[in-house]
């Protein structure tokens, strides 16, 4: 049976749990195809949606292996889970995404698990905005939990992890990793630290370094636990799952979960605005004959160009 193309029928199918409809709806909002706005409106509402766990870390840190283990662990309790793998550096890690898909085949055929990736190819206003739209649609599809895997430990990843309720930052043995996490602002962004590949030398030292850095950071209402895992064998996964559950309870009890949700909705407005304006500009692919070209040649200053994009400007 072919899928309907009109947004309201499609959204109805998404909400009723139709996975093919979900995949189609995600492509529409990811690529901003016709009907995307209506779909997003139909998928958005006052309900908080399922809790989102962000898993972030350097390339190859073991995020996908951990995600895979977490999914298997959560499935045992019957929870349905959607995974969104966000890959900002597609030219370099395109192969890794494919690898993820293959690894995740273990869950293929399990109707309680849905896996999807998003790469930076062709996203006018940035991958963060595209991921936000996709999460809105996934949030309407009735899953008990959502996991977002993001590659890297830089500023853009901090942005992506802002979309999560609970952010797990994955490091590997080597104290340089801990220092790098500090520099990239991940010490602030992390709700849970994982030192993965704890079967390798230096894991204890990395854990110690992280504790020292957290100590320097002063008092905080939630001190991120620091866990060691061996994702390949499943070592430490139960503890990770428990830490995520504890953080979720903290969010609910402290009211911080509600604060984060409000902030997330606000930020989505900023991202949407940025995208809308960039597309008015003619896109980042402007060949030089548009407004951007005039700015490049120095004929128009950047501030005037920006003002011209606004109504009345």
Q: Binding residues for ligand GTP, per CB under 6 A?
A: 57, 59-65, 93, 96, 151, 196-197, 199-200, 230-232
Q: Which residue is nearest to Mg ion (CB)?
A: 64
By CB under 5 A, tell whether 196 contacts Mg ion. no
DSSP 103-125: HGGGGTT-TTEEEEEEE-TT-TT
| Packing angle of the helix pair 127-139, 256-280 (nearest 10 deg) | 130
Pick from 192, 116, 190, 126: nearest CA to 158: 190
H helices of 77-202, in order, are 90-103, 127-139, 155-161, 175-183, 186-189
Strand partners, 52: 146
**Interacting partner of 119 out of ligand GTP, Mg ion, none (Cβ under 5 to 8 A depending on kind):** none
Cβ-based neighbours of 154, under 8 Å, separated by 6 or more = 184
**Interacting partner of 65 out of Mg ion, ligand GTP, none (Cβ under 5 to 8 A depending on kind):** ligand GTP
Q: Which is nearer to ligand GTP, 117 or 268 (CB)?
A: 117
**Interacting partner of 60 out of Mg ion, ligand GTP, none (Cβ under 5 to 8 A depending on kind):** ligand GTP
Q: Which is nearer to ligand GTP, 148 or 281 (CB)?
A: 148
- In the chain, count H helices and then E strands: 14, 7
By CB under 5 A, tell whether 64 contacts Mg ion. yes
Q: Which is nearer to ligand GTP, 43 or 86 (CB)?
A: 86
- Going by the DSSP 8-state scheme, the letter that residue 311 receives in this structure is T
Q: Which is nearer to ligand GTP, 42 or 96 (CB)?
A: 96
Q: How many angstroms separate the CA atoms of 13 and 6, rounded?
A: 11
At its nearest, how many Å lie between ligand GTP and the CB of residue 44?
A: 29
Cβ-based neighbours of 131, under 8 Å, separated by 6 or more = 84, 86, 118, 148, 160, 163
Cβ-based neighbours of 11, under 8 Å, separated by 6 or more = 25, 38, 39, 42, 43, 140
**Interacting partner of 244 out of Mg ion, ligand GTP, none (Cβ under 5 to 8 A depending on kind):** none
**Interacting partner of 69 out of ligand GTP, Mg ion, none (Cβ under 5 to 8 A depending on kind):** none
At its nearest, how many Å lie between ligand GTP and the CB of residue 255?
A: 33
At its nearest, how many Å lie between ligand GTP and the CB of residue 83?
A: 11
Q: Which is nearer to Mg ion, 32 or 74 (CB)?
A: 74
At its nearest, how many Å lie between ligand GTP and the CB of residue 101?
A: 11
Q: How many angstroms separate the CA atoms of 30 and 127, rounded?
A: 9
Contact 61, 170 (CB under 8 A): yes
Q: Which stretch binds Mg ion (CB under 5 A): 26-34, 45-53, 99-107, 305-313?
A: 99-107
Q: Which is nearer to ligand GTP, 147 or 292 (CB)?
A: 147
Q: Which is nearer to Mg ion, 46 or 91 (CB)?
A: 91
Q: How many angstroms separate the CA atoms of 137 and 127, rounded?
A: 16
**Interacting partner of 54 out of Mg ion, ligand GTP, none (Cβ under 5 to 8 A depending on kind):** none
Residues found near Mg ion in the complex (CB under 5 A) = 63-64, 100
């Amino acid at each position: 049976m072919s899928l309907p193309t009109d947004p309201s029928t499609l959204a109805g199918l998404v909400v009723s749990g139709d996975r093919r409809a979900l995949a189609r709806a995600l492509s529409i909002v990811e690529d901003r195809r016709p009907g995307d706005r209506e779909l997003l409106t139909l998928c958005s509402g006052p309900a908080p949606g399922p809790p989102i766990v962000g898993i972030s870390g350097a390339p190859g840190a073991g995020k996908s292996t951990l995600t895979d283990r977490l999914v298997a662990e959560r499935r045992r309790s019957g929870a349905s889970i959607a995974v969104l793998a966000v890959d900002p550096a597609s030219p370099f890690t395109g192969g890794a995404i494919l690898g993820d898909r293959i690894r995740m085949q273990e869950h293929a055929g399990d109707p309680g698990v849905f896996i999807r990736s998003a790469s930076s190819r062709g996203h006018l206003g940035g991958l963060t905005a595209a991921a936000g739209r996709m999460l809105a649609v996934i949030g309407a599809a009735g899953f008990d939990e959502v996991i977002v895997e993001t590659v890297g430990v830089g500023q853009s990843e901090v942005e992506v992890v802002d979309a999560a309720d609970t952010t797990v930052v994955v490091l590997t043995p080597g104290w340089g990793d801990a220092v790098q996490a500090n520099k990239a602002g991940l010490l602030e962004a992390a709700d849970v630290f994982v030192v993965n590949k704890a079967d390798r030398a230096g894991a204890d030292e990395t854990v110690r370094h992280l504790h020292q850095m957290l100590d320097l950071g002063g008092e905080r209402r939630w001190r991120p636990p620091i866990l060691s895992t061996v994702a390949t064998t499943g070592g430490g996964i139960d503890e990770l799952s428990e830490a995520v559950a504890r953080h979720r309870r903290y969010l609910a009890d402290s009211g911080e979960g509600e604060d984060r949700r409000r902030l997330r909705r606000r930020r989505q407005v900023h991202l949407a605005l940025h995208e809308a304006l960039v597309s008015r500009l003619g896109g980042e692919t402007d060949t030089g004959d548009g407004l951007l070209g005039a700015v490049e040649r120095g004929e128009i200053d950047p501030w005037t160009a920006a003002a011209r994009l606004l109504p009345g400007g």
